């Protein structure tokens, strides 16, 4: 049985940066599928057990890592997992990581390949920190330093991304191009190079994630398809399968999605929350967007 302590920082952090702390309290191996999220994921690992993440292409990374937007089927395996997980808006990720999301190629790469020997120092600091709030403060300071000196996306690209998120993926590329004052081709090129996905694919990812939340909240596939802008239930089924390899019904009960929903909920607990399969299931069905 997988058991997690999940901690969230207090509200008021930097826009476009969300943090959560995870501590595995299971008796054995953790094996969890990661559900795609419209953010670049940074995992700062500091546990004393093995921690391996594998992507759909068979590539595996150990220790701290970065996962690009929509990296396909990703599984996390490990024992005694301890980590701070960061979700970065791709607009922010461009500055923090020092590379655009397109260079991550929608896959999982070792953080050592980007930050070198700094990763070992960060790992030691997180392990020595006495509390989650101290770890969150360390992580915040690290991200702020990197963001100050990193590159910036075009304002038009940033606005297009925020419009996609605000519309939950239900805005056309033509409308985005008009709002930017660019041609459709120019928007596609600049957005793809700086965000990591073409705008239409980005909108599809944002729409999928909203649909996943609605499924996890206990809504039927028919209702979710209608609410989220899918042509019909079959359209929703195909998209969920494409992102996760699961049916909508299976995704709705997936423990990885349940933990994820609690970790990234809008209200942060002041103390770590003990998450078991039962409490995850209960909290998931009580939550509404």
- Could you give the CA distance from residue 287 to residue 266 in angstroms, rounded to a whole number? 11
φ and ψ at 85, to 5 degrees? -105, 135
If residue 173 lies in a helix (H) or strand (E), which one and from where to where? helix 173-180
Question: According to the model, what pLDDT value does residue 2 have?
Answer: 59
Residue ranges covered by each domain of the chain = 4-152+256-286, 155-250
Question: According to the model, what pLDDT value does residue 260 have?
Answer: 76
Question: According to the model, what pLDDT value does residue 48 have?
Answer: 85
Question: According to the model, what pLDDT value does residue 105 have?
Answer: 63
What order do you get walking across the sheet with 74-78 strand by strand?
Answer: 30-34, 74-78, 51-54, 60-62
- Could you give the CA distance from residue 179 to residue 177 in angstroms, rounded to a whole number? 5
Question: According to the model, what pLDDT value does residue 94 have?
Answer: 84
CATH 1.10.10.60: does it fit domain 155-250? Answer: yes
The pTM of the whole model exceeds 0.75: yes
Which CATH number applies to 4-152+256-286: 1.20.1260, 2.60.120, 2.60.40, 3.10.110?
2.60.120
CA 250 to chain centre: 20
Question: According to the model, what pLDDT value does residue 13 have?
Answer: 65
Question: According to the model, what pLDDT value does residue 117 have?
Answer: 85
CA 15 to chain centre: 15
- Could you give the CA distance from residue 82 to residue 137 in angstroms, rounded to a whole number? 16
Question: According to the model, what pLDDT value does residue 265 have?
Answer: 63
Q: Please list the ranges in the chain whose pLDDT falls under 70.
A: 1-2, 11-13, 27, 56, 71-72, 105-106, 265-289
Question: According to the model, what pLDDT value does residue 229 have?
Answer: 94
Question: What angle, 0 to 180 degrees and rounded to 10, lies between the N-to-C axes of helices 199-216 and 255-263?
Answer: 100
């Amino acid at each position: 049985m997988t058991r997690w302590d999940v901690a969230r920082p207090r509200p008021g952090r930097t826009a476009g940066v969300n943090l959560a702390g995870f501590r595995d309290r299971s008796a054995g191996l953790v094996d969890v599928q990661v559900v795609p999220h419209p953010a670049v994921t940074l995992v700062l690992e500091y546990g004393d057990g093995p921690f391996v993440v594998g992507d759909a292409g068979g590539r595996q990374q150990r220790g701290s890592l970065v996962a690009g937007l929509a990296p396909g089927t990703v599984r996390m395996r490990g024992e005694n997992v301890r980590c701070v997980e960061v979700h970065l808006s791709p607009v922010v990720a461009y500055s923090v990581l020092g590379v655009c999301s397109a260079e991550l190629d929608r896959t999982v790469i070792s953080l050592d390949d980007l930050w070198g020997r700094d990763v070992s120092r960060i790992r030691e600091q997180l392990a020595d920190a006495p509390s989650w709030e101290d770890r969150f403060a360390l992580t915040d300071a690290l991200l702020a330093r990197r963001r100050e000196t990193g590159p910036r996306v075009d304002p038009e690209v940033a606005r297009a991304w925020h419009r996609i998120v605000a519309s939950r993926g239900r805005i056309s590329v033509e409308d985005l191009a008009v709002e930017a004052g660019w041609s459709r081709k120019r928007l596609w090129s600049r957005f793809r190079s700086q965000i990591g996905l073409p705008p239409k694919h980005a909108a599809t990812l944002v729409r999928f994630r909203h649909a996943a939340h609605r499924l996890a909240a206990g809504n039927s596939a028919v209702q979710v398809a209608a609410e989220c802008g899918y042509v019909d239930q079959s359209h929703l089924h195909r998209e969920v399968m494409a992102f996760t390899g699961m049916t909508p019904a299976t995704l709705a009960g997936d423990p990885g999605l349940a933990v994820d929903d609690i970790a990234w909920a809008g209200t942060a607990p002041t103390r770590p929350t003990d998450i078991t399969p039962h409490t995850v299931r209960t909290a998931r069905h009580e939550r509404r967007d």
